[in-house]
Amino acid sequence: MSLQVSGLEKKFAVRAVRTMPRRLVFQRKPKSGETQTNDMGYPVEDYTDIDPNHPIPCIFMSQSGREVIIGGQTKSVTLYSFEIPNLNYLGPGNWVRVDFANRYRVHLLASGGIDERFLQVIGGGNDIGPSIKFPAVSLEELV
């Protein structure tokens, strides 16, 4: 089954691989009945990386001092916004649609001396176009 890819999506995805400075991997909770282990063989009960072998190129920005409602409470947090391509390039002629969901977390990979970060997706993904844009907050600010 071949993936139907528009020209604009493909161009954006190719450009993203070449120019977007950071990479991310989405994380999710293990599914019911799914056995997952970490690198040391211990069971994983918390969030786990989705397809860590194919990180997604991204651009992210921060906007400090935004007020958002989290768990029914209004909090002042640093809001991060991400832009990723709709398609992820897996190799010559091999494309896959990015699996995006508001329940995911973001594992922003370390790059160029910048530490990795973990953020919770809090919305977005409803854009029509070659990219997905969504906001996220740092996990430390969810408490």
Find the CATH number of the domain harbouring 114: 2.40.10
Q: How confident is the model at residue 1 (pLDDT cuts 50, 70, 90)?
A: very low
Establish if 2 belongs to a structural domain.
Answer: no
pLDDT in tens, 70-93: 778 887 778 899 999 998 877 777
Q: What is the mean pLDDT of residues 45-71?
A: 83
Max avg pLDDT among 33-37, 57-61, 73-77, 86-90: 57-61
Establish if 95 belongs to a structural domain.
Answer: yes
Taking the CA atoms of 5, 7, 12 and 18 in sequence, report the sign of the dihedral they define: positive
Establish if 77 belongs to a structural domain.
Answer: yes
Q: Residue 46 is encoded by which pair of tokens?
A: 């918390």
pLDDT in tens, 95-140: 888 989 988 999 999 988 889 999 999 888 787 778 999 999 887 7
pTM of the full structure: 0.79
Distance (Å, whole) CA 110 – CA 45: 23
Residue 57 has pLDDT above 50, yes or no: yes
Establish if 105 belongs to a structural domain.
Answer: yes
Establish if 48 belongs to a structural domain.
Answer: yes
Distance (Å, whole) CA 83 – CA 66: 19
Number of neighbours of residue 36 by Cβ within 10 angstroms: 13
Establish if 107 belongs to a structural domain.
Answer: yes
Q: For the chain, give the mean pLDDT.
A: 82
Domain that holds residue 126: 7-142
Domain count, the chain: 1
Establish if 1 belongs to a structural domain.
Answer: no
Which of helix, strand or coil describes residue 86?
coil
Residue 13 has pLDDT above 90, yes or no: no
Distance (Å, whole) CA 84 – CA 17: 10
55: CB partners within 8 A, 6+ apart: 23, 24, 25, 109
